[in-house]
Structure 1
């Protein structure tokens, strides 16, 4: 077996990195030994300014910057919570909804306050994720100078009080529509009450990465043909 190919994941969020590794290992049980994931934080890469107006644009900005600065294939995602009654907000501003980027508790509390008077039947929403893969224009890959995006969604609703200790972000107040088998005879679980395997099986990020994984394997390890 040859030396593993490195792929940089364009994130400094260790919680997200753990989730991404878990998802990718599930999709790449064999190829995983030939693909080594490293984070942008591990490589000392700066966070780019996310100037896009869509999840897809911001994912490409992050992956493109990481690929250019590292010379490695780069995988990035941009995701957020879309609340129907709020006109698709917080959307791309989800991570900095309170005005402080990455302050999960402040973001969560502000959103709950904004939805305080909204009846339970009108608190629907969905998590959306766009995953982007960028291959730099350097020798050694089946495809060079290419990029692709894929998206995934997890519909559900926002409850009034946080529940659960797992996950991150808005997970403690979001109840996905699709529930694990063990929840059939009890109160529906929030994303933060699910195990990582349960959440990954239904999550927006899991769906987006499932769609992009065959492309990553083909472009990084294979002959460059996109397979479904």
Structure 2
């Protein structure tokens, strides 16, 4: 079996599939299913353990947190590592919840509570002042310390109430610019074609290809 050449610092199988799909045709001879793996498969359960955060996200920007995770996994595995950090930035809130998006209500990963709190905070804000954007920073870290980080954004408007049952997080309340549906009402292919995460990883792709070649 070919040795792993790139590890993604995540427990999320969907993110791993997305990265493999981006790389599949970019590097001839690369077996993405065995050479592009997640951190658990790479033998880094201390960094990415079931039910636990990847690393302490002590950075104050998406870029800093993505780099923290990528460097932690690269150091633990000895393999070039990729990580991302993402969230929702609301203009009228000065960019909040930002890096605190996943724990805006006080408990990490409680999507329903986060949505309710944010919508309550914006209840008196008119539709023309509800601009917001999803932000993602994607980072590549090499075991020797070299790093590359990129950023992607998906701009839109926050709805007054959730719509749709797809996606996760704040997807039900962000309506992307130029569309009449929320992110949670888009198909997976539609969302992936415009998402902040796909934009960030496409920007990172040249650096990933260089490492894998």
5+ long unaligned stretches in structure 1: 138-144, 180-187, 223-228
1:4 and 1:34 in contact (8 A); partners too: no
TM-score normalised by structure 1 residue count = 0.82
Larger deviation, residues 24-33 vs 158-167: 24-33
5+ long unaligned stretches in structure 2: 48-53
> What are the Cα deviations for residues 182-227 of structure 1, in whole angstroms up to 9, with x where unaligned?
xxxxxx11111111111111111110000101211111x22xxxxx
2:99 — aligned with what?
92
SS at match of 1:88: coil
TM-score normalised by structure 2 residue count = 0.87
196, 218, 222: which one aligns with 2:210: 218
Q: How does 1:73-222 map to 2 (within 5 A)?
A: 73-137=80-144, 145-179=145-179, 188-219=180-211, 221-222=212-213
1:45 and 1:66 in contact (8 A); partners too: no
1:125 and 1:157 in contact (8 A); partners too: yes
By how many angstroms is 1:29 displaced?
2.7
* Structure 1 Cα separation of the partners of residues 3 and 40 of structure 2: 20
1:153 and 1:204 in contact (8 A); partners too: yes
Provide runs of 4+ in structure 1 moved above 4 Å: none
How many residue pairs match? The answer is: 201
* Structure 2 Cα separation of the partners of residues 207 and 4 of structure 1: 28
